[in-house]
Chain A
Amino acid sequence: MDINQLESAGPVSSMGTAIATGNPFPVKIECRDVKVFYGAKQALKSVDIDIRENQVTAFIGPSGCGKSTFLRCLNRMNDTVASARVSGSIKIGGDDIYDPRIDVVQLRARVGMVFQKPNPFPKSIYENIIYGPRIHGIAKSKADFDIIVERSLRGAGLWDEVKDRLNESGTGLSGGQQQRLCIARAIAVSPEVILMDEPCSALDPIATAHVESLIDELRANFTIVIVTHNMQQAARVSQRTAFFHLGTLVEEDDTAAIFTNPRDERTQGYITGRYG
Chain B
Amino acid sequence: MGNDHIVRSYDEELNRLTGLLARMGGLVEAELAGAIEAVSSRDAELATRTVRSDARVDELEREIGEQVVRVMALRQPVASDLRLVLGSLRIAGDLERSADYAKNVAKRAVALSQLPVLRPVHAIPRMGAVVREMLKDVLDAFAARDVAKAVAVWNRDEELDEMHGSLFRELVTYMMEDPRNITGSTHLLFIAKNIERIGDHATNIAETIHYLVKGVPLAGERPKGDGTSFSTVGAEGAQ
Contact = CB atoms under 8 A, between A and B. Distances in A.
Interface residues of B, number: 17
Contact of B7 (A259, A268, A273): A273
A269 B78 CA distance: 10
B77 interface: yes
A85 B114 CA distance: 89
A272 B76 contact: no
Contacts of A271: 78-79
Interface in B130-181: none
B239 interface: no
Interface string A250-263: 00000000111110
Interface in B5-28: 5-7, 10
Interface in A215-231: 231
B113 to A, nearest CB: 50
B69 to A, nearest CB: 18
Interface in A46-103: none
B78 A260 contact: yes
Question: Which among A260, A269, A274, A276 has the highest number of chain B CB atoms within 10 Å?
Answer: A274
Nearest to B6: A273
A81 B216 CA distance: 45
B215 interface: yes
A262 B82 CA distance: 12
B6 A274 contact: yes
Q: B interface, by DSSP: helix, strand, loop or mixed?
A: loop
Interface in B36-56: none
B64 to A, nearest CB: 21
Question: Which among B3, B78, B83 has the highest number of chain A CB atoms within 10 Å?
Answer: B78
Given A260-B82, A260-B83, A272-B81, A232 B6 contact: no
B55 to A, nearest CB: 35
Nearest to A263: B215
Nearest to A268: B79
A268 B80 CA distance: 7
B78 A235 contact: yes
Interface in B167-225: 215-216
Contacts of A275: 3, 6
Contacts of A272: 5, 77-81
